[in-house]
Amino acid sequence: MNEGSARSIPSNPLREGIVTRSAPDPCTVVIFGATGDLTHRKLIPALYNIAADGELPPQVAVVGTARREKTDEGFRTELGEAVRKFSRQTVRDDLWDGFAQSLYYQTTDFGDPEGFQRLRTRLEEIDQERGTGGNRLFYLAVAPSQFEPILKNLKAAGLHKPPEGAWARVIVEKPFGTDLASARHLNEMVSAAFPEKDTYRIDHFLGKETAQNILVLRFANAIFEPLWNTRYIDHVQITAAETLGVEGRAGYYEGAGALRDMVQNHLLQLLCLVAMEPPTDLSADSVRDEKVRVVRSLRHYSGEAVAANVVRGQYAAGAIAGKQVPAYRAEANVNPESTTETFVALRLLIDNWRWADVPIYMRVGKRLPKSGTEISVHFKKAPSVLFNKESQALDQNVLVIRIQPDEGISLRMQAKMPGTSLRIEPVKMDFHYGTSFGKASPEAYERLLLDAMSGDATLFARRDEVEQAWAFIDAIEDAWSAAESAPPLCQHPAGSWGPDEADALLARDGRTWRRL
């Protein structure tokens, strides 16, 4: 099926609500990096869960490929253990046994063109055996240094060209480059083998249930959109906090830091969903056209403006939930003098009519006191007449979108406390996914894999989005590395909400961070 086209599905009276997803096509999912962490922790558990939910057609095969020698049986046993450890649902032996029969392993050295010829032969055999129809989804779950040889060899083996009537798509994992120049280079490499419509750049935040719900909240309800602008919104906060530290990923993280690791992709994607204009329809390109306009409208900072609007921090030793944790610089494989930021706070402005003069505050960090990602929209105060004539202390209305955990939405408003006198207190209207729908949300990778199999790229980043985001980030990185304008790297104890400078960033505007 072509990107963006909405295939109508037969209506099912047992299904409630509006359903707009198309069924995934039969296909072979070819995972490069089959022995890696991502495959074990996320990809195979996701595929098992969608199979267990009955959403995967029986004609889907998964071929894992990596350099290590392994048999199909060995691969299946190893993945069985991983799925039992990482699956969202308890694994049922009968279901797993059936699913495991669709798993295959093919040893391939990514730099060896002949290995790709053998892969091609194997895929053709699997097409015959399982009726996968020649459709192929290549998943690059490898370090970026491996992208080039894989893409070149896929092309040399003719695997990028699908057989007549079938499709070939590629999913590229993050990090998608480390700056604009490297992202462009990577985009060139990918586009030399696959057209943009068949390129799926993963940002797993877009697959989170609550991230998808942002557009539903905004555009399936009539009451928010008229208020969603500079006239009624005072400011927006986006927080992505983790209690975890760098967790053995120092090799990657040292060269990335929080700005590249989280802001360039996940946080800017969330911002786009909050700030975009309504798209003309729900096709992948209409949605992404609107998202990219938000990134293009971001005010770029350079030099002094970076120091004034962006705070970078790094965790020192401290305690989280009563447990002592080491400083970032004392973590394994981290340079003891590292200047990599593990915390960033930003004050952003979107220069368009809807958002003129509405600051967007973002903060992200590791080893913070609590894990949680949320977006809060703070509305302007009611006019200073009537109830808040004398008392200026009346709170703002705040709409909170909890991305994770405890997914849901709450709205804070003012109410009169019961009693004979007039006392006004803030109260909360709260919606929790868990209690309202009574079932767990699927993992982000489940949704994204299904979408890629059905040809829907809406929740994947387009080339221009990624490049625009890097242009914004590069200006900040440049200022950080320029000796004359580099703002300080502010240390904060692990288990605190970042350095004092992050609080000062809001205090300057007369605001404070929302407590999670």
Residue 311 DSSP symbol = E
Q: Which of 38, 373, 7, 435 is nearest to 208 (CA)?
A: 373
Taking the complex as a whole, how short is the minimal distance between the CB of residue 264 and ligand BG6, in angstroms?
A: 10
The interaxial angle of helices 93-100 and 44-52, nearest 10 deg, is 120
Q: How far is the CB of 115 from ligand BG6 (least distance, A)?
A: 29
The smaller minimum CB distance to ligand BG6, of residues 209 and 464, is found at 209
**To the nearest whole angstrom, how small is the minimum distance from the Cβ of residue 242 to ligand BG6?**
6
Tokens of 456: 């829907």
DSSP 332: T
Q: Count residues binding ligand BG6 (CB under 6 A).
A: 4
Which is nearest to 428 in space by CA: 395, 451, 457?
A: 395
For helices 147-156 and 180-193, the axis angle rounded to 10 degrees is: 20
Of residues 235 and 402, the one with the C-beta less far from ligand BG6: 402
Query: Which residue minimizes CB distance to ligand BG6?
Result: 261
* Cβ(257)–Cβ(489) below 8 Å: no
Q: Which is nearer to ligand BG6, 7 or 85 (CB)?
A: 85
Residue whose structure tokens are 């790094």: 314
Distance, CA of 414 to CA of 208 (rounded, Å)? 31
Binding mask 159-178 for ligand BG6 (x = CB under 6 A): ---------------x----
Cβ 211 to ligand BG6, closest distance in Å?
10
What distance in Å separates the CA atoms of residue 164 and residue 8, rounded to the nearest whole number?
23
CA dist 265 and 259 (Å) reads: 9
**Amino acid, single-letter form, for residue 489:** L
Using the rule CB under 6 A, is 341 a contact of ligand BG6?
no
Q: Minimum CB separation from ligand BG6 for residue 8, in Å?
A: 32
DSSP 459: T
With the CA atoms of 325, 331, 335 and 337 taken in that order, what torsion angle do they form, in degrees rounded to the nearest 10? Answer: 10
Rounded-to-integer distance, Cα 56 and Cα 35, Å: 23
Query: Within 173-202, which residues bind ligand BG6 (CB under 6 A)?
Result: 174
Judged by DSSP in three states, 238 sits in strand
Site of tokens 């086209």: 5
33: left (phi over 0), alpha (psi -120 to 50) or beta: left
Interacting residue with ligand BG6 among 3, 198, 242, 446 (CB under 6 A): 242
Minimal distance, residue 276 CB to ligand BG6, in Å: 22
Nearest CB to ligand BG6, comparing residues 204 and 402: 204
Antiparallel, parallel or unpaired: β 318-320 and 103-107:
unpaired
Q: How far apart are the first and last CA of the chain?
A: 43
- Applying the rule CB under 6 A, the residues between 204 and 223 that interact with ligand BG6 are 204
For 237, residues 6+ apart whose C-beta sits below 8 A from its C-beta are 360, 361, 362, 363, 375, 376, 378, 513, 514
State which residue, 342 or 458, has the beta carbon closest to ligand BG6: 342
Residues in the chain: 516
Q: 337 exposed, middle or buried (CB, 10 Å; 0-12, 13-18, 19+)?
A: exposed
Shortest gap between Cβ of 370 and ligand BG6 (angstroms)? 13
Q: How far is the CB of 384 from ligand BG6 (least distance, A)?
A: 40
Distance CA 42, CA 351 (A): 38
Minimum gap (Å) between residue 403 Cβ and ligand BG6: 8
Active site residues: 266
Q: Does residue 383 have a cis bond before it (omega within 30 degrees)?
A: no
Residue 85 to residue 40: CA distance in whole angstroms = 9
The smaller minimum CB distance to ligand BG6, of residues 174 and 288, is found at 174
The residue with tokens 């391939």 is: 108
Nearer to ligand BG6, 199 or 265 (CB): 265
Choose between 70 and 363: whose C-beta lies nearer to ligand BG6.
Answer: 363
Smaller CB distance to ligand BG6: residue 403 or 479? 403
The one among 261, 290, 446, 467 contacting ligand BG6 by CB under 6 A: 261
Rounded to 5°, angle at Cα 129 from 1 and 51: 60
Summarize as ranges the residues that interact with ligand BG6 (CB under 6 A).
174, 204, 242, 261
